[in-house]
Amino acid sequence: MAMRLFKRRTNKPPTAGPEDRDVAEKKRRFNFSGSKILRDVWEWFKETWPDHFLLIEAALTTFAIYRAPPVARRTFQINYFNGVPIPPAGFDHQYRPYILNSFVSGAIALAAPILVFILMQIRVRSLRDLGNAIFGVQFSLATSALMHVVIASVVGGLRPNFYDVCKPKGKEEHGEGWEMEVLDRDACTGEDRMVDYAFSSFPSGHSTAAFAGFVFLFLYLNAKFKTFSNYRPPYWALVATWAPILAAIVIAGQCIVDHSHHWYDVLAGAFLGTLMAFSAYRMVYASIWDFRFNHIPLARFAPFQYDTESDSVKYDNLGKAMWTKDAGWGSKTERPWDGAPYDRAGADSRRGHSGHEHEAPSQVPVPDAGHMA
């Protein structure tokens, strides 16, 4: 008996089967225990608190510039026909309230993508992916909003309803130039706040916010659904991926319908928002268009190595941080990601893509030019 008490145990624990490994993998990828989540959130906050601070600072700066009078001294012309003032064509619309005010359009551009990010975690199941996605869309919106208010204040422009809002006095009192037909802000008799609004047409803030938020969502869905990748996805993936672009166009187009912006104001805002969305997405994800990497969220301090053995891919199984499970993507293997078929990563591993056990050809067959004709 004494010998049994002090005898070293030689029995090995039972080897985990495939089902046990799958369960352990799921727990490791997204552990729902309260202490684990709190610890992960705390670690994430320690990494990102400077970004939280700068986002708040950017929002306050944007609001201050937005509330301040425009910097640019814009002039405008008023013509008379038989003694009656005639506004130039394109600026003679009556003032109408926004169909969607600035707060609502900005809230939609932020809340809708975040809601989608949260719902996507049903299958993505990665706290780092969720954090990067939320941060990324905030980076896009905050930066584009700051750039928008600066441009609107320094450059600005006359809105389509400018003359109805300005209600200018006659040229005899404040006119400049030949025949005294050029006027400035001093000639406006409208409410000061509304006159500031009338001078800040370029670019459209609604369009900027809509495209900053929804283009980011478009890039996110493309990466998670692998809409443009190495296999033919289902049709619903194409519709779902492009739905955010449709939403952005509809929101931005309301500014043309209610005559609060010219078409070129909306186009400029769309360009600015899209540029910020692309920049923000590339900050937080490993790629924009490269389907092998564009679903992988980047860490704050650990550099991502673009190869199959990268620790950053294996960490928290970020290589599987996607929605689709088709064509081997996100397959339940020991190696979470192994490159797309026929790419360099798959050829190096000799296992093809996403851990499939098949030989990856060393060269891609090149079609004969005669067959391409």
> Do residues 328 and 354 make contact, with C-beta atoms less than 8 angstroms apart?
yes
Residue 168, beta-bridge partner list: 188
Contacts 24+ apart (CB under 8 A), 127-132: 127/30, 127/37, 127/40, 127/41, 127/44, 127/316, 128/44, 128/297, 128/299, 128/316, 128/318, 128/321, 129/297, 129/318, 129/321, 131/44, 131/48, 131/297, 132/284, 132/285, 132/297, 132/298
Whether residue 358 lies in the annotated active site: no
Q: Please identify which of the residues 52, 93, 148, 261 carries the catalytic annotation.
A: 261
Whether residue 261 lies in the annotated active site: yes
Nearest to 201 by CA among 177, 165, 237, 231: 165
Show the DSSP H helices in the chain as ranges.
2-6, 18-29, 34-67, 102-120, 127-154, 162-166, 171-174, 192-198, 205-225, 235-257, 263-284, 311-314, 344-349, 369-372
Q: What DSSP state is assigned to residue 12?
A: P
Helix or strand holding residue 85 (H, E): strand 84-86
What is the Cα gyration radius of the chain?
A: 28
Nearest to 244 by CA among 265, 268, 225, 263: 225
Q: Please identify which of the residues 206, 259, 295, 353 carries the catalytic annotation.
A: 206
Question: First-to-last CA distance in the chain?
Answer: 86
| Separation between Cα atoms, residue 151 and residue 36, nearest integer Å | 45
Tokens 């624990």 correspond to 13
Instruction: List Cα–Cα distances, 271 to 39, 148, 281, in angstroms.
Output: 40, 11, 15
Active centre residues (catalytic): 206, 261
